[in-house]
Structure 1
Amino acid sequence: MNVRRLIPTAALAGAVALAATALTACSGAAEAAGDRDGKLHVTASFYPLQFLAERIGKEHVKVGTLTKPGVEPHDLEITPKQTAQLGESDVVLYLKSLQPAVDKAVAQSGVKNVVDAATLTQLEVHGTSGHDHAAEEGHTEDDGHDHGHSHGEAGEDPHVWLDPVKYAEIAQGVGAALEKSDPGHAADYKKNTDALLAELGALDTEFKDGLKNTASRTFITTHSAFGYLAERYGLDQEGISGVDPESEPSPARMKDLQALATKDNVTTVFFETLASDKTAKSLAGDTGLKTDVLDPLEGLTDKSQGADYFEVMRSNLKNLQKALGNK
Structure 2
Amino acid sequence: MVWIHIVGGGVAGLSLASELSKHPILPGTVVVSDPNINARDDRTYSFWSDRDCSNFLPGTSQYSKWVVSAKNRSVTQTGTNWHYYRISGRAFFEKCKKVIERHPQCFLNNEAVVSKPSAKYVFDSRPPAPDRFRAYQSFVGIEFKCEHNFAMDIALLMTNMRTEDSGLYFEYMLPITDTSLLIESTYFGAMPGDMKNLEKNSLEWIKNNNLTGQVIRKEQAHIPMGLRPSTNDDWGIPIGARGGMTRASSGYGFMNMRSWAKITAKKLTSGQPITRYRPPLLETWMDLQLIKIIQKKPQHLPKIFLDMAQKTKGDDFASFLTKARPLNALQVITSAPAKPFLKSIIQMIQEK
Pick 1 or 2: higher relative contact order, CA cutoff 8 A, min separation 6.
2
Bigger strand share = 2
Bigger helix share = 1
Structure having the higher Rg: 1
Q: TM-score, normalised by structure 1?
A: 0.25
Q: TM-score, normalised by structure 2?
A: 0.24
